[in-house]
Amino acid sequence: MESDGARARRVYSKPERQAALMHMRRVVDEGGSIAGAATELRIPKHTLYHWRDIAEGRRRKRPKPSKVAFKAVTVIPTPVATVAKTPAVVVLGPRGLRVEGLGLDAVVQLWRALD
């Protein structure tokens, strides 16, 4: 099976989160850092900070997604812009030369003059 480069998201149980927080507190009490505890636990430090904030009431858990993800919309067609009777001709020449707005005959004359 080929991977598209995305890593699977690890889901931790409540007891695992509580054990990680206890370890984090022990490390911090001994003079270490939360980032150090996260490294020891092989958990991203932002995850450990997030769990700590939830446990201390600083942050709410993420709300569960709504059962209705989409709202009904009405698509109103817009009028199509009128197209010119003659197509626009753009001449791109050497060294960034750009000529617009000429008719086909004028473009042919210009091309011959530049040749």
Distance CA 35, CA 40 (A): 9
In 3D space, the residue among 94, 95, 86 whose CA is nearest the CA of residue 111 turns out to be: 94
The domain segmentation of the chain, as residue ranges, is 14-55, 85-115
35-64 residue pLDDT tens: 999 999 999 999 999 999 988 888 766 677
CA 103, distance to chain mean position in Å, is: 44
Of the candidates 56, 44, 57, 39, the one whose C-alpha atom is nearest the C-alpha of residue 12 is 44
pTM over 0.75: no
DSSP, res 13: -
Who wins on pLDDT, 52 or 2? 52
H helix intervals, 30-103: 34-41, 45-55
